[in-house]
């Protein structure tokens, strides 16, 4: 457990020093959300109805922005070999890195979402489901993204390939997250969509450590 916490702390420190920590993701989230009304127009009712979908798409793109750095720095400085040879199982190391990504990306995006929902004129009924859906679903973005980052670790210009691998896997998360918000706004029960979203995160939690660890072992072999 001490090795897990040490690796988590190290990744959090590196995220703030090298990648801007949560500020980069939140800044991109704000930029995309600000541009959306310019494309749709000043129809406040339309913006409010589509705000959940807009915010979830922006959140998924913001999470994608920082995925490449999960393993890239470790590959470049040789730390990945030390992690593999260390006492902590590689699957636990993968989980620690996914958690660090969520703490520096998913959690800040969730905290910033209500202010951006206000900017998009979201009805009050959508705020609670929006926060719940991001809290439940954003871990799935980090976990799924960790698999993609492991598959593309060490590849030159792997960012484009990472996007092609990960974005299709983000689709169920975005659909269920936006669906929960839309259901609440339109007077329906958002719980079924939230349950499906939670199931997606749980499946990702089970699948990610062995899948990403296997990809890293192939890369290092």
Can you read off the two tokens belonging to residue 201?
């995160």
Give the residue among 10, 23, 146, 3 at the shortest CA–CA distance from 77: 10
E strands in the chain: none
Q: Is the distance from CB of 62 to CB of 161 less than 8 angstroms?
A: no
pTM above 0.75, yes or no: yes
Please name the helix (run of DSSP H) or strand (run of DSSP E) that holds residue 17, with its range, or none.
helix 2-18
Work out how many domains the chain is built from and give that number.
Answer: 1
* Neighbouring C-alpha atoms within 13 Å toward the C-beta of 120: 34
The pLDDT tens digits for 28-86 are 888 888 887 777 766 777 778 888 899 999 999 999 988 888 888 788 777 887 888 87
Summary mean pLDDT of the chain: 87
Q: Which residue has the tokens 């998009």?
A: 120
The pLDDT tens digits for 151-191 are 888 776 667 788 888 999 999 999 999 999 999 999 899 99
- What range defines the domain where residue 34 resides? 2-220
Considering Cα of 70, then 209, then 53, then 172, what sign does the dihedral take? positive
Tallying the residues shown for the chain, one arrives at 221
As a whole number of angstroms, the distance between CA 128 and CA 96 comes to 28
């Amino acid at each position: 457990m001490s090795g897990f916490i040490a690796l988590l702390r190290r990744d959090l420190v590196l995220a703030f020093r090298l990648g801007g920590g949560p500020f980069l993701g939140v800044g991109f989230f704000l930029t995309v959300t600000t541009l959306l009304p310019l494309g749709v127009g000043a129809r406040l009712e339309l913006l409010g109805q589509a705000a959940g979908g807009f915010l979830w798409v922006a959140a998924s793109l913001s999470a994608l922005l920082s995925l490449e750095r999960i393993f890239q720095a470790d590959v470049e400085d040789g730390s990945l070999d030390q992690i593999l040879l260390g006492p902590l199982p590689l699957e636990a190391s993968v989980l620690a890195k996914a958690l660090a990504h969520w703490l520096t990306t998913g959690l800040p995006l969730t905290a910033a979402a209500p202010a951006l929902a206000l900017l998009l004129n979201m009805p009050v009924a959508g705020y609670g489901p929006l926060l719940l859906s991001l809290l439940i679903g954003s871990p799935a973005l980090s976990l799924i993204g960790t698999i993609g980052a492991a598959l593309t670790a060490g590849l030159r210009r792997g960012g484009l390939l990472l996007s092609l691998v990960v974005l299709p896997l983000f689709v169920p998360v975005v659909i269920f997250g936006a669906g929960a918000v839309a259901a609440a706004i339109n007077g329906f029960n958002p719980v079924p969509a939230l349950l499906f979203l939670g199931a997606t995160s749980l499946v990702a939690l089970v699948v990610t450590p062995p899948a990403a660890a296997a990809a890293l072992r192939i890369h290092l072999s």
